[in-house]
């Protein structure tokens, strides 16, 4: 491609609303432009990357025996009503009506549509198992789209759905998909990790997420040598050591204006781990108090799974707390509470701890279970932390940030049952099909790849998804007929051997060419200059190389062919 016939619109300055590096670089390199909140246009450069990723995904899915289809983005409400999700899904589902006032939605996912298709198309167990996928635009009306393409409202997703006679067959396909995803992310050149995951509102049981590792990731994952899971899923093993004996009496102390654990622990000169915090949430009947150690944090997903607690977790308002308990937030504690109190395992073995007195400006010290308040009802509601024992009992956990780019689920019969998707088995009996589903955030992968591969100068594309493989930069071509001829010759030869070249035939100064080339992140760079030509040489530099090297003019094509592998 000649730049003169392409669109390279790079920016020197960072647009003010871009926070994370991938968003900044995608705007600066001219890959995307924003249309409205969470809606982006892909410019030619960005689209090339997106399509490369798409093609790798497609290739691996095909290899795994999945069949590509394409379903409508707009879906009739009836199918969602049939599965029950028209009510459940909430405001993230973009609902629209047509001219006859028939209700539709713009699909955030396609379980209903595929299940409807398969229940009509597949009648016999002999046709199973099947696995269909599509690469298609989804819309989810996020509360707060951010980070550019990373969390957009409209995005490109690969979604696959498999249908089976039984769980064993599903398990087999699930494992094939796990392996396929591993192959895909390896081919994309990304550092990633598969983790045990919560299945959220898609439904089903067994589930893994695939995370690209990056500090800017919105998810936290915990892992050891033999275990990896999304933090929201990780159980904390109960403490093994027994609770110490009380050594002091319970005392009420004045703690004016001490609201946070940090303030309180400094004010009383004690460790936050000796303080206890009490969070009030909506319960299924009345309010419920959740009690955690001061240095621990609440795991909302685990808390939401407790039978006494509303799911998803809703925190009580300041007014509710005032009404029911009679004090402001910042002075709450489990002693003498009239509502249900659920206590994290790690608080259960504290002695002589500090907590709010349920009176403004007062806290209690020297509090002990079984003496000052009843023995606690113990639950597991805190987030794991680095250094905690792995749930499989094998070593200690480490914590990392990740960007969720893939998610595989075993759905079971959630949709097939609701929508009566059955086949006849060998003995002529109707069997509800068992389903799996498998998603990859194709557009998100573009941003994730940049988060993991960039430097001060710009993007560093993994070779397999780079928009171009080689940049050809002639220095001051307009001034030298000889140089022009050599450049045109190399360009034609590289094209002839099937290499994607970006030929900078603009009348720009070298500095601009170098800067653009590095910002755009093209992995290999050839520079042609008068000086080199005098010696029959051109210059090569890989995007990650410290220094350039010279290559004899006659060997350039062979050299590039070797180096790009």
Nearer to RNA, 108 or 294 (CB): 294
DSSP 240: -
280 binds RNA per the rule CB under 7 A: yes
Q: Tell which one of 283, 330, 436, 523 touches RNA (CB under 7 A).
A: 330
Q: Tell which one of 45, 184, 234, 332 touches RNA (CB under 7 A).
A: 332
Residue 143 Cβ, how far from RNA at the closest point, in Å? 5
Q: Which of residues 482-511 bind RNA (CB under 7 A)?
A: 507, 509-511
11 binds RNA per the rule CB under 7 A: yes
Residue 297 Cβ, how far from RNA at the closest point, in Å? 3
Nearer to RNA, 204 or 458 (CB): 458
The dihedrals phi and psi of 411, each to the nearest 5 degrees, come to: -80, -25
339 binds RNA per the rule CB under 7 A: no
107 binds RNA per the rule CB under 7 A: no
Per DSSP, which regions of 231-352 are E strands? 251-254, 276-282, 287-293, 340-344
CB 414 within 8 A of CB 203: yes
What Cα–Cα distance (Å) separates residue 311 from each residue in 196, 200, 430? 21, 11, 35
Binding-residue pattern over the window 310 to 329 for RNA, x denoting contact by CB under 7 A: ----xxxx---x-------x
In angstroms, the first-to-last Cα distance of the chain is 20
Contacts 24+ apart (CB under 8 A), 16-19: 18/148, 19/146, 19/147
Question: Which H/E stretch holds residue 130?
Answer: strand 130-139
562 binds RNA per the rule CB under 7 A: no
Peptide bond preceding 140 in cis form (omega within 30 of 0)? no
Residue 22 Cβ, how far from RNA at the closest point, in Å? 13
Nearer to RNA, 172 or 399 (CB): 399
* DSSP codes, 487-526: HHHHHHHHHHTT--EEE--SS--HHHHHHHHHHHT-SEEE
479 binds RNA per the rule CB under 7 A: yes
Q: Which of residues 374-393 bind RNA (CB under 7 A)?
A: 383
Helix (DSSP H) and strand (DSSP E) numbers for the chain: 16, 30
Q: Tell which one of 95, 146, 187, 274 touches RNA (CB under 7 A).
A: 146
- Residue 396 has a CB neighbour count (10 Å cut-off) of 11
DSSP 151: B
Strands 207-213 and 219-223: unpaired
What Cα–Cα distance (Å) separates residue 133 from each residue in 1, 201, 410, 465? 32, 20, 15, 21
- Coil/strand/helix, residue 555: helix
Output b/e per residue, 416-435; b: 16+ Cβ within 10 A: bbbbebbbeeeeeeebbbbb
471 binds RNA per the rule CB under 7 A: no
Binding-residue pattern over the window 218 to 257 for RNA, x denoting contact by CB under 7 A: ----------------------------------------
Q: Which of residues 535-554 bind RNA (CB under 7 A)?
A: 539, 541, 548
103 binds RNA per the rule CB under 7 A: no
Q: Which of residues 394-413 bind RNA (CB under 7 A)?
A: none
* Number of residues counted as binding RNA (CB under 7 A): 71
520 binds RNA per the rule CB under 7 A: no
Q: Tell which one of 144, 319, 428, 481 touches RNA (CB under 7 A).
A: 144
512 binds RNA per the rule CB under 7 A: yes
CB 521 within 8 A of CB 563: no
Task: Return the range that interacts with RNA (CB under 7 A); candidates 145-153, 155-163, 386-394, 412-420.
Answer: 145-153
Residue 33 Cβ, how far from RNA at the closest point, in Å? 8
Residue 118 Cβ, how far from RNA at the closest point, in Å? 37
Helices 21-28, 442-452: crossing angle, 10 deg rounding: 100
Q: Which of residues 35-64 bind RNA (CB under 7 A)?
A: 36-38
Q: Which of residues 191-210 bind RNA (CB under 7 A)?
A: none
Q: Which of residues 420-459 bind RNA (CB under 7 A)?
A: 457
Q: Which of residues 282-311 bind RNA (CB under 7 A)?
A: 294, 296-300
Residue 475 Cβ, how far from RNA at the closest point, in Å? 4
CB 381 within 8 A of CB 303: yes
367 binds RNA per the rule CB under 7 A: no
Nearer to RNA, 40 or 192 (CB): 40
């Amino acid at each position: 491609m000649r730049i003169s016939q392409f669109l390279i619109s790079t920016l020197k300055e960072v647009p003010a609303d871009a926070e994370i590096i991938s968003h900044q670089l995608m705007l600066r390199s001219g890959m995307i432009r924003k249309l409205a909140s969470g809606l982006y246009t892909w410019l030619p450069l960005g689209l090339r990357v997106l399509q490369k990723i798409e093609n790798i995904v497609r290739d691996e899915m095909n290899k795994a025996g999945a069949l590509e289809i394409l379903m409508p983005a707009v879906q009739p409400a009836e199918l969602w009503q049939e599965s029950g999700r028209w009510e459940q899904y909430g405001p993230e589902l973009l609902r629209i009506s047509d001219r006859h006032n028939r209700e539709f939605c713009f699909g955030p996912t396609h379980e209903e549509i595929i299940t409807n298709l398969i229940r009509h198309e597949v009648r016999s167990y002999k046709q199973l198992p099947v696995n269909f996928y599509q690469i298609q635009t989804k819309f989810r009306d996020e509360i707060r789209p951010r980070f550019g393409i990373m969390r957009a409202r409209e995005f490109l997703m690969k979604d696959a759905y498999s249908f089976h006679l039984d769980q064993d067959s599903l398990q087999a396909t699930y494992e094939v998909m796990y392996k396929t995803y591993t192959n895909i992310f390896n081919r994309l050149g990304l550092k990633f990790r598969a983790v045990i995951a919560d299945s959220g509102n898609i439904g089903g049981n067994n589930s893994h997420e695939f995370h690209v590792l990056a500090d800017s990731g919105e998810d936290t994952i915990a892992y050891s040598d033999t275990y990896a899971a999304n933090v929201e899923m990780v159980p904390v093993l109960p403490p093994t050591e027994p609770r110490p004996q009380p050594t002091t009496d319970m005392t009420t102390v004045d703690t004016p204006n001490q609201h946070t654990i940090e303030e309180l622990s400094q004010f009383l000169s004690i460790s936050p781990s000796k303080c206890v915090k009490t969070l009030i949430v909506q319960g299924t009947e009345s309010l419920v108090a959740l009690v955690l150690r001061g240095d621990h944090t609440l795991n909302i997903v685990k808390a939401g799974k407790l039978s006494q607690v509303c799911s998803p977790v809703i925190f009580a308002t300041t007014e509710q707390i005032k009404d029911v308990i009679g004090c402001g937030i910042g002075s709450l504690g489990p002693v003498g509470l009239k509502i249900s109190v659920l206590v994290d395992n790690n608080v259960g073995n504290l002695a002589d701890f500090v907590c709010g007195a349920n009176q403004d400006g007062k806290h209690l010290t020297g509090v002990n279970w079984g003496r000052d308040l009843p023995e606690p009802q113990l639950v597991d509601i805190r987030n794991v932390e680095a250094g905690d024992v792995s749930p499989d009992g094998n070593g200690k956990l480490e914590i990392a940030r990740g960007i969720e780019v893939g998610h595989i689920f075993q759905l079971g019969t959630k949709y097939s049952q609701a929508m009566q998707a059955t086949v006849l088995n060998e003995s002529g009996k109707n069997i509800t099909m068992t389903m799996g589903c498998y998603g990859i955030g194709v557009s998100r992968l573009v941003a994730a790849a940049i988060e993991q591969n960039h430097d001060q100068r710009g993007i560093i594309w993994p070779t397999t998804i780079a928009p171009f493989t080689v940049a050809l930069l002639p220095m001051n071509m307009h001034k030298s007929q000889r140089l022009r001829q050599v450049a045109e010759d190399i360009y034609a030869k590289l094209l002839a051997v099937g290499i994607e070249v970006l030929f900078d035939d603009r009348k720009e100064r070298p500095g601009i060419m170098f800067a653009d080339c590095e910002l755009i992140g093209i992995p290999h760079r050839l520079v042609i200059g008068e000086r080199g030509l005098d010696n029959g040489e051109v210059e090569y530099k890989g995007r990650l190389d410290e220094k350039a090297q010279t290559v004899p003019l006659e060997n350039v094509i062979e050299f590039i062919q070797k180096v790009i592998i």
